[in-house]
Amino acid sequence: MGQYKVDDIYLFVSEQGAGRPILFIHGFPFDYTIWNRTCDVLQTDFRVIAPDLRGLGQSGLPNGWKITPMEQFADDLHILRSMLGIEEKLVICGLSMGGYIAMQYARKYRNDLAGLVLCNTKTVADSPAVADNRRKQAAGLTDGTLKLSSIADAMIPKLFAEATWKNKSKIIRELRWIIETNQSLGVAAATLGMAERSDTTALLGELDIPVLVICGSADQFSPPSEMKLLADNAKHGIFVEIPDAGHLTPMEQPEYFANTLKEWMLSFDSGVV
């Protein structure tokens, strides 16, 4: 683990293992630790890199920063790639908001990529109503009338599969802690960035790289019926539905998630995909 000066901030980065690099991009309003269990499985075969995004977790946010566009997150990660000395093509894997960022990375820096993994995410832009709700949420976080604990209360009941609620309560407690200890202004800036993001669906058909789409069977935010369409839209897309998982598949089913990713990477490295 370490910190890297990226443009005007420091990014906190977890890194382990060796081999082809995989860059994991966490969702909203989380931090890099959602990938811990997955990275523990994969680090024996790959170089796994999981940063805290700008203004989230332990990474910095400049004073007065109001909005973090998805493109800004992608630019940060492109700079980080160079600072980590990665010269070969890498795989990027984004969950939820991380998927929005991954698509912006693919739009701007597709020549960096060996493959793209989209999990529990969307490519469509927010509806006007959803975007407006995000702006209200950001305003509340900025002026202090909305607390991160309230965001956790609203989100958590919808994030996990029934099996997780029954058998993996520790994961639910971990995620609550991640949300409630995050940076309010960084969360607000990311919220505004999500509200302003563009539709990237058409880009999937332009990318001449393998695309893996992973979805939890019980995901309420990005259900399997919607996520399968992402794989169908991609030029080289594969869809995998993970049972007994909701919106946090890497936390709920880390071994299944990691092995799915590993098999997919080995298949296109061997020329099967």
What's the pLDDT score for residue 1?
79
Q: Which two tokens stand for residue 186?
A: 């960084």
What's the pLDDT score for residue 54?
97
Per residue in 18-38, is it b (16+ CB within 10 Å) or e — as a string?
eebbbbbbbbbbbbbbbbebb
Identify residue 24 by its one-letter amino acid code.
F
Q: Which two tokens stand for residue 158?
A: 């919808």
What's the pLDDT score for residue 64?
84
Q: Which two tokens stand for residue 245?
A: 């998982």
Phi-psi category of residue 85: left, alpha or beta, with phi > 0 → left and psi -120 to 50 → alpha: left
What's the pLDDT score for residue 7?
86
What's the pLDDT score for residue 269?
63
**What is the phi/psi pair of residue 28, to 5°?**
-110, 135
What's the pLDDT score for residue 273?
47
Quote the distance between the C-alpha of residue 265 and its chain's center.
18
Set out the domains of the chain in order of their start, with CATH numbers: 2-269 (3.40.50.1820)
Other C-beta atoms closer than 10 Å to the C-beta of 135 total 15
With tokens 């998982």, the residue in question is 245
What's the pLDDT score for residue 255?
96
What's the pLDDT score for residue 63?
85
What's the pLDDT score for residue 53?
98
Q: 120 near 27, Cβ under 8 Å?
A: yes
Nearest C-alpha neighbor of 21 from the set 47, 56, 55: 47
Burial category of 272 from C-beta neighbours within 10 Å (exposed 0-12, middle 13-18, buried 19 and up): exposed
156-206 pLDDT, tens digit each? 999 999 999 999 999 999 999 999 999 999 999 999 999 999 999 999 999
- Three-state DSSP state, 229: helix
Identify residue 49 by its one-letter amino acid code.
I
Spans in the chain with pLDDT lower than 50: 272-273
Query: Alpha-carbon distance 55 to 57, whole Å?
Result: 7
